Structure 1
């Protein structure tokens, strides 16, 4: 596994765009901080195809498609 990717620090009321704009909703909806989701998904993002990781997050962790896709897209960009 490559170096641990850290969750972005988001200021309250900060205007968000792109995949990171889903992060507050992901935390609220699934009750886990983004760092936990990032740590959980990072190893799979490094080895598996994008949609395989999305499907895994949906099936194994009950995440909605948009949320899962946003997390995987953000991680892929950080890893690239």
Structure 2
């Protein structure tokens, strides 16, 4: 059996959950609640209101917005 390698923004999710103590679906809910804000406004919200680092915040926002456009 071959394990699927996670690439892109989702590759950050295990470390985000470990570092910030919340599951990804909760972070995505916060992002969706703040819509229709722009990408960088959402990143800034996660950084300023929740102390998240830029890379982690950007990964959550990018993945959430991409998921919602499918």
TM bucket normalised to smaller = 0.7 to 0.9
CA RMSD after TM alignment: 1.3
Question: Hey, what's the Cα distance between the residues in 2 that align with 1:65 and 1:36?
Answer: 18
How many positions carry a matched residue from both structures?
67
The TM-score, its normalising length taken from structure 1, stands at: 0.77
1:68 to 2:57 alignment: yes
Q: TM-score, normalised by structure 2?
A: 0.87
How far does residue 14 in structure 1 lie from its aligned partner after superposition?
4.7
List alignment gaps of at least 5 residues for structure 2: none
Distance 1:72 1:61 in 2: 14
The runs of at least 4 aligned residues of structure 1 exceeding 6 Å deviation read none
